Amino acid sequence: MPQELKYLSIIESGLNPRAVSRASAVGLWQFMSFTGRYFGLHHDGYIDERMDPEKSTEAACKYLKQLHTIFGNWELALAAYNSGPGTVKRAVRRSGYKRTFWEIYRYLPRETRSYVPQFVAIIYAMNYAEEHNLGDLALEEVMPHDTIAFRQYVHLETFASLTGTCVEELHQLNPSLRRNAIPQTEKPFVLKMPIAAKDRLALNREGILDSSSRVGKKEVEMLVSNTP
């Protein structure tokens, strides 16, 4: 796949993993509910994997590759990513079965007509940033972290307090978490946590996990059940 496709997330979400559109598309790659589930992104009242940068990027790659297989053209694949493959297929039929973006341009929705040119502009801007005095852009560093897998319920505020971190840092590292809790599940949830917190957890793992599993479970369950 072309490396430049990574810039598509700038157009989709402005690189905000928690972005939610007016149409309820979610995450870096703006997956709708059905499409997200189709590509393996689970979401419920506790966790929304569409907001997981790694999992959603992998799903987006699979989707884009599938669209390229359907249309045989990356520009048409991008148009289909924006408006859906059915919309692009209709535009192809209405154009007399033309096979390039510019040949079916007039038959596409207005937003999709500007979508591919935006992508071209983003590629140009990223490749020629210095020539346009855009070279001194600040980079956001991800804090050093490690992982731990949970199957049990964990109250994040309690867990953060006992490991010497804060719940805001845990949410920053784990944007797919919708609540201040990890639910009890059969499939483990892999939590990213600051290195120092992981070291502190190792000193009293059993006690910290026991305490974190006893706080607020009923309240969180009630909150989730009452949320659309």
Q: Would the pTM count as exceeding 0.75?
A: yes
Residue 45 has, within 13 A of its CA and on its CB side, a CA count of: 11
What is the tens place of the pLDDT at every residue in 123-177?
988 887 777 676 656 667 788 999 999 989 999 999 999 999 999 999 999 999 9
Question: Do residues 181 and 130 touch, judged by C-beta distance below 8 A?
Answer: no
- Which residues carry out catalysis? 12
Q: What single DSSP character describes residue 215?
A: S
Question: Do residues 144 and 195 touch, judged by C-beta distance below 8 A?
Answer: yes
Question: Do residues 40 and 110 touch, judged by C-beta distance below 8 A?
Answer: no
Across the strands, what pairs with 26? 20, 31
Please give the pLDDT value at position 134: 67
Residue 157 tokens read as: 């505020």
184 burial type by CB count under 10 A (0-12 exposed, 13-18 middle, 19+ buried)? middle
Of 144, 212, 204, which Cα lies nearest the Cα of 181? 212
Residue 20 tokens read as: 């939610």
Please give the pLDDT value at position 159: 94
Please give the pLDDT value at position 127: 83
Residue 138 tokens read as: 């600040």
Low-confidence spans in the chain with pLDDT less than 70: 132, 134-139, 226-228
Please give the pLDDT value at position 223: 72
Please give the pLDDT value at position 184: 86
